[in-house]
Amino acid sequence: MKAKNLASLLVLFLLVFSGCKNEKANDPASAKASQEQKMKYAKGFNILDYEAYTLLTVTQAWPGSDKTFRYALLKQGQKLPDSVKTDAVINIPVQSIVVTSTTHIPALELLRVEASLKGFPNLDYISSPKTRARIKNGEVQELGQNESINTESAINLNPDAVITFGVEGENKTINSLQRAGIPVLYNGDWTETTPLGQAEWIKFFAALYDKQDMADSIFNGIEKRYLDLKQKAATAPQEPTVISGAMFKDVWYLPKGDSWAATLVADAHGDYLYKDTEGTGSAALSIEEVLNTAQNADFWIAPNAFERFSDLAEANEAYTRFKAFNEQNIYSFAAAKGETGGMLYYELASSRPDWVLEDLVAILHPQLLTDHQFHFYSRLED
């Protein structure tokens, strides 16, 4: 009798154990990702493809963020398992979208989905001719300012997704949109510290439109061109010295040595004189310190919004003491503007670091790119 009972218990155990195993194996939430879309340079997001859904995870929504945001992307017919917890669920490919930074516009255009853009805060900042044409036709709605976006207008648009950029702290606008059932996603492209890392965020947008293969092709082209230019620049016999930035209220702000801008100068085979300053933000220095270190710099790149040598001289006599001023080797992107005054550089540079690098190589080593047509930079006017 005891043996019979023991055998029955063993059969019951095997049936229950086998059932649990099969249930777990069929649950996409517990299964391993069928494929991880590897990022080559970007550090702030990752993409995991499961059989029943895709998980888009943003790990760096703002500098120093310790929060992780998970977004489930569902194709038609797919269903998210109840056990998977996310910050938003988005049906893809999205048909309508609101973005909040001009750096998002190039990704939409490169992926050829710009027609899905329905709203943007402060339309005058957008410079792209293609999107400006849609604005003129009334296809993109003005949504106010980022800090006080018109929530009612955004909700009335009922977009499939809103893409925002984050700063630490509560955002009432985001909370209102989420309460209305509109998915809000953080995009942290601006937190990346490498040029190609920023450009790779096109894959973030591609995931929303189910255009991963297209994004890979676009990014691979940008990457190849960037690396080819870097290799070409390295053949130059000289490494000119470079200074950047300018003063604001008697304080000179310039990129630190680990920044995106400093990396571009280095990759253009330039000797950025503040390359040893640690960090990715801006260093705040006195004019005396900058004169002491960089008065004899060969080139001065990106002197804030100045467009003319005369404007520099009028702003502060100290600017005229720099070798780059006297030899007229100062280059700025301030003159490259859209029809409503938005700067092309701020909109497009992070998506096209190959264009930025090409400009810098042409400035520092003109003999290497003799027929170059500048994308962003130009020498200051007299």
Q: What is the pLDDT of residues 156-170, one digit of tens each?
A: 999 999 999 876 556
Using 50, 70 and 90 to split pLDDT, how confident is the model at 33? low
Of 242, 240, 234, 239, which Cα lies nearest the Cα of 259?
A: 242
Percent of the residues in the chain that have a pLDDT greater than 70, as a whole number: 90
* Rounded distance between C-alpha atoms, residue 255 and residue 283, angstroms: 6
Using 50, 70 and 90 to split pLDDT, how confident is the model at 266? very high
CA 149 and chain centroid, separation: 21
What integer is the mean pLDDT of 123-148?
92
Q: Is the pTM higher than 0.95?
A: no
Using DSSP's 3-state secondary structure scheme, residue 274 falls into coil
C-alpha triplet 245, 250, 256: angle, nearest 5°: 35
Using 50, 70 and 90 to split pLDDT, how confident is the model at 37? confident
How confident is the model at residue 64, as a pLDDT? 82
Q: State whether the Cα torsion 194-197-202-204 is positive or negative.
A: negative
Q: Which regions of the chain carry the CATH code 3.40.50.1980?
A: 35-222, 238-379
Q: Cβ-count burial of 295 within 10 angstroms (0-12 exposed, 13-18 middle, 19+ buried)?
A: middle
* Rounded distance between C-alpha atoms, residue 204 and residue 215, angstroms: 9
How confident is the model at residue 167, as a pLDDT? 64
Q: What is the CATH number of domain 238-379?
A: 3.40.50.1980
How confident is the model at residue 14, as a pLDDT? 35
Using DSSP's 3-state secondary structure scheme, residue 258 falls into coil
What integer is the mean pLDDT of 123-129?
96
At residue 338, φ and ψ (nearest 5 deg) are -80, 180
> Does pLDDT of 5 surpass 70?
no
Instruction: Tell me which DSSP letter residue 220 carries.
Output: H
Structure-block tokens of residue 77: 């017919």
Using 50, 70 and 90 to split pLDDT, how confident is the model at 146? low
What integer is the mean pLDDT of 219-226?
98
Q: Which residues pair with 47 in a beta bridge?
A: 37, 56
> Does pLDDT of 9 surpass 50?
no
Residue 209 CB-half CA count within 13 A: 24
The CATH number of 35-222, from 3.40.50.1980, 3.90.700.10, 3.30.750.210, 3.40.50.2300, is 3.40.50.1980
Return the amino acid letter for 43.
K
Report the C-alpha dihedral over residues 123, 128, 133, 139, rounded to 10 degrees.
-50
At residue 138, φ and ψ (nearest 5 deg) are 75, 20
Among the residue ranges 5-19, 47-61, 63-77, 254-268, the one predicted with the least confidence is: 5-19
How confident is the model at residue 15, as a pLDDT? 35
> Does pLDDT of 346 surpass 60?
yes
Residue position matching structure tokens 């990106």? 302
Structure-block tokens of residue 333: 């992107």
Beta-carbon contacts of 179 under 8 Å, excluding residues fewer than 6 positions away, are none
Q: In sequence order, which ranges of the chain are alpha helices (DSSP H)? A: 2-25, 105-110, 129-136, 151-157, 172-179, 195-199, 202-209, 212-233, 260-267, 287-294, 309-315, 323-326, 344-348, 353-364
